[in-house]
Amino acid sequence: MEALARRGLEVVGIDNSPEMTSFAERRLREARLKGRVVLADMSDFGLCERFDGAVCPINTLAHLRPLELDRHFDCMGRHVEAGAHYLVQLALRTADDSADAHHVSTWEMSSERTRLRITWTTEELDFAAGLERQRSRIEILEGERAGDVIEELHVITLWTPDAWTAAVAASPFTRTATYDGEQPRRPLVSEDQPGRLLWHQLTPE
């Protein structure tokens, strides 16, 4: 939200965590930026307005099961204008990705007061159950809580290209482009290509 607001956009964000909505409000306020943050479930919300665009990053939709995704798409369909784009970052898997079941990503982030190391591990791809099991580990290297470690297991929906195509086809949206965020310049790719960092451009029908 802060990045978009800095570019002059009017922003509204939703999250179902009171702590995260409070954090987002404080971050906007400290940056002297305008924006509205709403405590809401992404599969059941009403914002009483329509938008010229929307973004859902970092594989967030994978936290929804298929029926919840249907409800989310219905909500989004009521909130975006005709011709608007809804950009969704969502990983798509195929059986060839089985070797990726133990993929590990590690990176560091820092602010004025804190430095973190984040490790994200894919522990299992269960195609039969349609689930992925991923573990996040956040190590606080510097700051007030230096030495603390926060670790969580995330059980999320495993989406294949076919299942994702069917879910979009049943929604109020059409997929109008897919981009590979892992590649330089994020090239346009085919709809049936798997990938960990795919961006899907959806447009209301």
Q: pLDDT (tens digit, 9 = 90+) per residue, 92-101?
A: 999 888 767 7
- Out of 3.40.50.300, 1.10.357.10, 3.40.50.150, 3.30.70.1400, the CATH code matching 53-92+159-204 is 3.40.50.150
The CATH classification number of 95-157 equals 2.20.130
Gap between the Cα atoms of 138 and 148, Å rounded = 8
User: What is the structure's pLDDT at 83?
Assistant: 93
The one-letter code for the residue type at 197 is: L
- Do domains 53-92+159-204 and 95-157 share one topology? The answer is no
C-alpha to C-alpha distance for 135 and 152, rounded to whole angstroms: 6
- pTM, 2 dp: 0.92
Residue-wise pLDDT for 164-176, tens only, equals: 999 999 999 999 9
Q: How far apart are CA 177 and CA 132, in angstroms?
A: 25
Residue type, 155: V
